[in-house]
């Protein structure tokens, strides 16, 4: 009998997985308003200064500091400038009424807030005068041209995933549309004659041994949150021919095929021989808990990933392995694609039972800034993921005493 191969460390599995992935290179032009979550295919270079000219950051009065030698100086108002208007050169010995965002008149070197000024009543038709009740400082309340972005700056780099701030930045330099990489096309299906779709069978009518297919729902959600175009192929019967046909069809039109369950060596586990018949498959036993079994292979140009059947194992291995694979396929910049690490956070629990594997423990932040642990860490307890907001990343053999700092991975960060 051949000895069982040693468990593969997560860092090694990630390196091997990512080495097999080449980013997609097909691109498309999309409206900036529709580009949320997409990956930028080329640098965005600003063709203008932002702001385009010196402007006021306050409602008040633009003036020359030299014209206000002392507190209480009275100056006539020579013009009124609102945002979107042009500004004439400021006449010597006068000030200009100015509003936030309005261009600074040539010659002015400061803005005084309206709260620091007093408007003098003027007779009908007379030029109003304003008393300046502070000594202005050169440059105060002025936003300089290009202080945010200078013409020629790369404001967004290729490979960045676009979010609200990035879309605002693109719009701010005049980009009505953006060149982005096309979405990764993912086919998803489940295997197992025991699986039942919610809504197809009432709980009271469930046949013996049947379970609802929860994995399908969170995997579709995870894939969509990561910007994928998902084809949900449903449940494939536990039959070799049906499995081969589903895989063959999916490989023609998708970049990645994801399944959950059915990658072991039982008589009803048809994924392994079906993938091997159509392409290549590596079965890995990864030194993590939960989520030891994991499969990766190729069918034509499409990648194949087989996740464990237990829901928590499937969820965690998706975050740790499928997410980095997708990010590389999408052309996301390479930072953050290795071992996930974690943010140092105080453990408000004891964890005396060290495991030989790298362990990912379901936790939740508490009001005191620490972490509480879910009492049942079984790989089938989906409730722990609903209750929790992240994972603690424990090294092999690591125990935890209450009050120690541990590496915390928030679900919010792992879903982007």
Q: What is the pLDDT of residues 219-273, one digit of tens each?
A: 999 999 999 999 998 888 878 898 999 999 999 999 999 998 766 544 446 788 8
CB atoms within 10 A of CB 222: 22
Average pLDDT over residues 389-409: 97
Q: Over 90: is that where the pLDDT of 387 sits?
A: yes
- Quote the CA–CA distance of 177 and 167 in Å, as a whole number: 10
Q: Where in the chain are all domains bearing CATH 2.170.190.11? A: 55-143
Give the DSSP per-residue string, 354-413: --SSEEEEEEEE-TTSSEEE-S---TT-THHHHH-SEEEEE-TT--B-TT-EEEEEEHHH
- Containing H/E element for 41? none
Give the DSSP per-residue string, 91-132: PTT-EEEE-TTPBPPTT--EEEEGGGEEEEP--TTSPPEEEE
Which pLDDT score, from 0 to 100, does residue 335 have? 56
Q: What's this model's pTM, rounded to 2 decimal places?
A: 0.85
Whether 308 contacts 293, CB under 8 Å: yes
Q: pLDDT tens across 72-122, in order?
A: 999 999 999 999 999 999 999 999 999 999 999 999 999 999 999 999 877
Report percent pLDDT > 70 for the chain: 94
Six token digits for residue 290: 């939960």
Indicate the pLDDT class of residue 5, thresholds 50, 70 and 90: confident
Give the DSSP per-residue string, 278-320: HSEEEEEEBSEES--EEEEEEETTEEEEEE-SSHHHHHHHIII
- Quote the CA–CA distance of 49 and 149 in Å, as a whole number: 6
Average pLDDT over residues 301-321: 94
Q: Over 70: is that where the pLDDT of 148 sits?
A: yes
- Quote the CA–CA distance of 61 and 80 in Å, as a whole number: 9
Q: Where in the chain are all domains bearing CATH 3.90.105.10? A: 27-50+147-181
Q: What is the DSSP letter of 351?
A: B
CA–CA distance from 161 to each of 33, 184, 251, 406, 416 (Å)? 14, 13, 26, 29, 9
3-state secondary structure of 323: helix
CA–CA distance from 383 to each of 14, 310, 353, 389 (Å)? 28, 13, 22, 12
Report percent pLDDT > 90 for the chain: 77
- Quote the CA–CA distance of 412 and 390 in Å, as a whole number: 8
Indicate the pLDDT class of residue 141, thresholds 50, 70 and 90: very high
Which pLDDT score, from 0 to 100, does residue 267 have? 41
Of the candidates 204, 282, 297, which has an alpha carbon nearest to the alpha carbon of residue 250?
297
Indicate the pLDDT class of residue 341, thresholds 50, 70 and 90: confident
**Which CATH code for domain 343-414?**
2.40.340.10
Which pLDDT score, from 0 to 100, does residue 14 have? 93
Rounded (10°) angle between helices 271-278 and 240-253: 50
Which pLDDT score, from 0 to 100, does residue 263 have? 62
CATH topology of domain 10-25+183-329: Molybdenum Cofactor Biosythetic Enzyme; Chain A (3.40.980)
Whether 137 contacts 37, CB under 8 Å: no
CB atoms within 10 A of CB 227: 21
Q: Where in the chain are all domains bearing CATH 2.40.340.10? A: 343-414
Q: What is the DSSP letter of 182?
A: P
- Quote the CA–CA distance of 308 and 380 in Å, as a whole number: 11
Average pLDDT over residues 17-33: 95
Architecture of domain 27-50+147-181: Alpha-Beta Complex (3.90)
Whether 284 contacts 8, CB under 8 Å: yes
Interior/surface letters 258-295, b for 16+ CB within 10 angstroms, e for the rest: bbbbbbeeeeebbbbebbeebbebbbbebbbbbbbbbb
Q: Over 80: is that where the pLDDT of 183 sits?
A: yes
Residues 6+ apart with CB under 8 A from 170: 32, 35, 44, 155, 156, 162, 178
Six token digits for residue 272: 């392994």
**Which CATH code for domain 55-143?**
2.170.190.11
Whether 295 contacts 306, CB under 8 Å: yes
Indicate the pLDDT class of residue 125, thresholds 50, 70 and 90: low
Whether 133 contacts 117, CB under 8 Å: yes
């Amino acid at each position: 009998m051949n000895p069982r191969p040693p468990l593969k460390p997560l860092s090694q599995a990630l390196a091997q997985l990512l080495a097999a992935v080449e980013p997609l290179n097909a691109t498309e032009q999309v409206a900036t308003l529709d580009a949320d979550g997409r990956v930028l295919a080329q640098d965005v270079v600003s063709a203008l200064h932002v702001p385009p000219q010196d402007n006021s950051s306050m409602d008040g009065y633009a003036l020359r500091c030299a014209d206000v030698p002392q507190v209480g100086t009275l100056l006539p108002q020579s013009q009124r400038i609102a945002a979107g208007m042009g500004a004439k050169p400021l006449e010597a010995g006068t000030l200009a009424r100015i509003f936030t965002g309005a261009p600074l008149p040539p010659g002015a070197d400061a803005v005084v807030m309206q709260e620091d000024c007093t408007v003098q009543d003027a007779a009908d038709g007379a030029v109003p005068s304003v008393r300046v009740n502070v000594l202005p400082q050169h440059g105060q309340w002025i936003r300089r041209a290009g202080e945010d972005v200078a013409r020629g700056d790369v404001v967004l780099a290729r490979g960045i995933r676009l979010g609200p701030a990035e879309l605002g930045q693109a719009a701010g330099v005049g980009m009505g549309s953006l060149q982005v990489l096309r979405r990764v096309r993912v086919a998803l299906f489940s295997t197992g004659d025991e699986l039942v779709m919610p809504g197809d069978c009432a709980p009271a009518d469930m046949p013996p041994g049947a379970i609802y297919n929860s994995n399908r729902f969170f995997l579709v959600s995870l894939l969509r949150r990561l910007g994928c175009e998902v084809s949900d192929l449903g449940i494939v019967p536990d039959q070799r021919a049906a499995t081969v046909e589903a895989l063959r069809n999916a490989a023609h039109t998708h970049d990645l095929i994801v399944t959950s369950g059915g990658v072991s060596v039982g008589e009803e586990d048809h994924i392994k021989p079906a993938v091997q018949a159509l392409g290549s498959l590596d079965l890995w036993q990864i030194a993590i808990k939960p989520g030891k079994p994991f499969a990766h292979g190729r069918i034509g140009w499409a990648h194949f990933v087989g996740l464990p059947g237990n829901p928590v194992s499937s969820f965690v291995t998706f975050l740790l392995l499928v997410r980095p694979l997708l990010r590389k396929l999408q052309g996301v910049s390479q930072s953050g694609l290795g071992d996930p690490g974690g943010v140092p956070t105080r453990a408000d629990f004891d964890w005396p039972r060290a495991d030989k594997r790298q362990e990912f423990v379901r936790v939740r932040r508490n009001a005191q800034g620490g972490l509480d642990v879910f009492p049942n860490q079984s790989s089938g307890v989906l409730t722990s993921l609903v209750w929790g907001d992240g994972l603690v990343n424990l090294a092999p053999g690591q125990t935890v005493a209450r009050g120690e700092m541990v590496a915390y991975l928030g679900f919010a960060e792992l879903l982007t």
